[in-house]
Amino acid sequence: MLRAEVYWKSLLLAIPIASLASAPFLLKSAYFVHFFSLLFLFLALASAWNILGGYAGQVCLGTGAFFGIGAYSMMLSLKANLPLYASIIAGGIAASCLALLIIPLFRLRGIYFAIGTLFLPDIIRTFVLYFSDVTGGAMGIYLPLIRDPLFAYTFLLAVSVCTILVTHFLVNSRYGLAMRAIRDDQDAGEMYGINATKLKTMCLLTYAFLCGLAGSGYALYMGFLDPYTVFHLTWSIAPVFMCIIGGQGTIWGPIVGSIIYVVLSEQLTFIVGELHLLVFGGILIAVILLAPYGIVGALKRLSSNFVRGWKACSYAKT
Amino acid sequence: MLVCKDITKSFGGLVALRGVSLEVKKGEIVGLIGPNGSGKTTLFNVICGIYRPDRGVVYFKEEDITGRKPYEICRLGIGRTFQLVKPFKTMTVLENVMTAILFGRSKFITMTEARKQALKWLDFVGLSGMKDKVAGELGIASLRLLEIARALATEPELLLLDEVMAGLNPVEVSRVGDLIERVRSDLGITIFWVEHVMRAIMKHADRVIVLDRGEKIAEGTPKEIAYDEKVIKAYLGEPYA
Amino acid sequence: MKKTLPLIFLFALLVILSCILAYTVLKERAGILLATIVNGVLLGGFYGLTAMGLSLVLGITRIINVCHGEFVVLGAYIGYWLAISYGVNPMTLIASLPILFIVGLVIGKTMMNRAVSMGVDQPLLVAFGLSLCLRNLMRYLWTATPRGINIPMGGIPFPGGTYISHLSLIIFCTSVVGLLSLHLFLKNTFIGKAIRATGQHQESARLMGIDVNNINALAYALGLLLAAVAGSLVSLRFSFDPESGPMFLGRALCAIVLGGVGHVLGALAGGIILGVVESIGASLLGDVMRDAIVFLIFLAILLVKPTGLFARYRAF
């Protein structure tokens, strides 16, 4: 990219980010803070999942484990009197450590990584329940600080912006090429010098760290954690849902997907009440089968088809 | 440059390679021929590290590379094309070659520099016009040129070509044949070449090795091979020997 | 089959020998240990049954049906609901079988076939979505309160003050009978052979005139049928709630990786080993860790030896 382009694009990005950052102070609406905090949380999770699942092609069905371990690690670090920012980072690090244990799963091709991660949230939850004197067990654990929604909001905004920037730089770098190469044909990629396992591990650790940070943000926001909520299946399904609906392997996909998810979760509860998860599942299945590239993906394909058709027409005229 | 000693590989009950020993010297174009199922691609896979041989050693430039990972072997200087082309289908032709440049070499290179070199390689094989096309849309001739460009982009000292002429029409066959000669003469790359299109091998190879059912049955100049009794028997059967 | 049979006998021999050894050495506590092991074996038979549905679907259609656990629970709910409404009798227990079979045919034909044609990830994600739908549906229909049918039945007393319940024995026998009849069905009937052929090589099966799409849907439906059988047994013995799915899925997956994919006896052997290890582990570490033990074993095997102990071929 040219220098001028970089400056211009950064400015374009800085405006919405600055306005979002300052909005709660200007608007003073608790609902605004609540809605957007949730949005940023889910956006961070979706973008992080997108790195591993959308670009590197490794579907992870156990996001709740990394998210939850990040949340609990932050809580426990605070209780151990670590400073705030160190505790937050500790959340990310703990999730990465968990990810390190999963690395041998990359030896298995395809979907076996997915089912290996499927039960991770349940395993971690059992450990949290087992060591209940430390973690509060089923009764939950409270934040030892005064709950500050604005701080949580800003932090979650920072995390989601960070995640998207990481995705952007990763995808446009040499590693982005390597990830797409591995996704298209792993054997060919290895033959041309790409260490597939190292690459997947890199993506996994990045994803885990970011999920751990998101977990810390959640803990900051809620002020309270309990093992059944934090390790629930929803946290594992939500990123999958958001990325598939929005479009895997694109930067805008998770953004679109998370907006749809958060808006739908609120609205559906009004419309169908108890069955909103059923509708979610149904939408997920429908999108997988009928529109596998998601909204952004479909738009990209439509536009490239359109451009090609246009070019073909202009060649025909001459 | 490349020495294989006593390579043996079986898959369950099927013995694909049986004590194969051969040598490829620097600067040669060596052909590898044999009837279907004789183990040619398996041998390539063993050399490249995709399979580990049950027995035997592979030496590259006096160094033992048996059983190393494919990406390590690539960085050591062996490039390879695949029999069934394996392009990165969702990436453009230019990106395909850039990936090979960025990862296939042992030295670090920046993205802008990689892009320049990728254009140079596409020019060398004659694919410049297609640089922005998505690889999944190319025809077989262009895909074969892309395979060669990618392999060359990793700056190998030894290039393994696996049936690179398959599916090409006579015009394309001579074009690729000339390209292979240029690779040897302009770039100084040693070539080890599996092929079924006989006239290409006979025309360009210095030496030919023949495999049949996992064993080496003959070795010599193209002329010697064409009249060798064992080779004729392997391909055409007993009555013609 | 020839390879596994001696292994199963060997294993059973080892279990019996260790029981005798334990009994003679420990006399008092041996009774409890023995009871734990026997209960583990009986439990394992049930796990083998749960695993078999999943293994059939995986082996034939190559789909990892992660909603299998939810279908087992659905079968349990149907059995429970009918039993509450009409009393416990053989009819109400068997009713869930045809229901889930038909549901399986529908899902298989409409969703799974299409998902399989789209790639490797898609069927898994569709099954994942289905599990979410089923959980929510069951929660809506029957609320989150744990359910179970209580049938008072006697038991065989064991030294040490414990006993082996008759129900456990009945469930074990039902599992073994179910597995044997499945094995006979697959081996001897025409459709069984068609299913095996499709599982081994789809292209060749197609060339032989087998309608692969229908057979895949049938295999999926059979998998759900077996889940329904397991579900009926679940309603009698365990308490369950809409979130119980992963419990059964985990045990099924674990039994499969222990015993090898597509192997009827392998699933049974894997289930038995799992049952014994889980029972002993639970008596040592506490009941809370029951699920974690199963999931950890599953993860450990995936990480260390994914081909399983008795695998005939490398499915992973």
ipTM, two decimals, is 0.85
Structure tokens at A295: 């909204």
Find chain A residues with C-beta within 8 A of B82's C-beta: 188, 191
Locate the chain A residue with the closest alpha carbon to C248. A119
Chain A hits for B105, Cβ within 8 Å: 193
Please, do chains C and A touch (3+ CB pairs < 8 Å)?
yes
The structure tokens listed for A257 are 């997907």
CB contact under 8 A, C126 and A285: yes
Q: What's the predicted TM-score (pTM) here?
A: 0.87
Inter-chain CB proximity C124 and A129 less than 8 Å: no
C-alpha to C-alpha distance for C51 and C268, rounded to whole angstroms: 8
At residue C314 the predicted structure's pLDDT band, cuts being 50, 70 and 90, is: very low
DSSP run (H or E) holding B194: strand B190-194
Q: Answer whether A181 sits within 8 Å of B99, measured CB to CB.
A: yes
* C chain contacts of residue A277, beta-carbon cutoff 8 Å: 132-133, 135-136
Q: List CB contacts (< 8 A) between A285 and chain C.
A: 111, 126, 129-130, 133
For B241, the enclosing helix (H) or strand (E) is none
Q: Mind listing the pLDDT tens digit for each residue in B200-219?
A: 888 889 999 999 888 888 88
pLDDT, mean of residues C226-239: 88
Write out chain B residues lying below 8 Å of A187, CB-based: 50, 70, 86
| Model confidence pLDDT, tens digit, residues C148-193 | 887 777 777 766 666 778 888 888 888 888 888 888 888 899 999 9
Task: Tell me how far CA of residue A316 lies from CA of A60, A308, A309, B133, in angstroms.
Answer: 47, 12, 10, 19
Residue B52 CB contacts under 8 Å (≥ 6 apart), including other chains: B46, B66, B67
Q: Is the pLDDT of residue C316 over 50?
A: no
With beta carbons under 8 A apart, name residues in chain C contacting A275: 136-137, 140
User: What per-residue confidence (pLDDT) applies to A9?
Assistant: 79
* Facing A288 at nearest CB: one of C120, C125, C303: C125
B102 to chain A: closest CA residue: A174
Per residue in B62-87, pLDDT (tens digit) is 889 998 899 999 999 999 999 899 99
Residues on chain A touching C120 (C-beta within 8 angstroms): 110-111
- CA dist C69 and C254 (Å) reads 13
Q: Do B89 and A189 touch (CB under 8 A)?
A: no
C289 to chain A: which residues are within 8 Å by CB?
126, 130
Facing A184 at nearest CB: one of B71, B91, B114: B91
How far apart CA B71 and CA C209 sit, in angstroms, is 44
pLDDT value at residue C315: 39
Segments making up each domain of chain A, as ranges: 31-259
- Residue tagged 């990359």 (tokens): A106
- Interface residues of B toward A, Cβ cutoff 8 Å, are 48, 50, 69-71, 74-75, 80, 82, 86-91, 95-96, 98-100, 102-105, 111, 114, 150-151, 154
Answer yes or no: is pLDDT of B21 > 60.
Answer: yes
Kindly list the residues of chain C whose beta carbon comes within 8 Å of any beta carbon in chain A: 64, 66, 111, 114-115, 118, 120-122, 124-126, 128-133, 135-137, 139-140, 246, 249-250, 253, 286, 288-289, 291-292, 295-296, 298-299, 302-304, 306, 316
At position B13, the amino acid (one-letter code) is G
The confidence score (pLDDT) of residue C264 equals 72
Q: What is the pLDDT along chain A (318 residues), one digit of tens a residue?
A: 567 777 787 888 888 888 888 887 777 788 888 899 999 999 999 999 999 988 888 899 999 999 999 999 999 998 888 888 999 999 999 999 999 988 888 877 667 888 889 999 999 998 998 888 888 888 888 887 778 888 899 999 999 999 999 999 998 888 999 998 988 888 899 999 899 889 999 999 999 999 999 999 999 999 899 999 999 888 999 999 999 999 888 889 999 999 999 999 888 888 877 788 888 899 999 999 988 888 888 888 888 788 777 777 776 655
Query: Given pLDDT bands bounded at 50, 70 and 90, which one contains residue B12?
Result: confident
User: Minimal Cα–Cα distance from A117 to chain C, Å?
Assistant: 8
Q: Provide the pLDDT for residue C29.
A: 63
C120 vs A111: CB contact, 8 Å cut-off? yes
Contact A177 B98 (CB under 8 A): yes
**pLDDT for the residue numbered C221:** 95
Chain B residue with minimum CA distance to A55: B90
Helix (H, G, I), strand (E, B) or coil at B208: strand
Cα separation, C37 vs B66, in Å, equals 48
Chain B residues close to A293, C-beta within 8 Å: none
Check residue A318 and give its pLDDT. Answer: 54
Beta pairing, strands B2-11 & B55-60: antiparallel
Whole-number Å distance between alpha carbons of A65 and A57: 19
Whether residues A119 and C316 touch (CB distance < 8 A) is answered with no
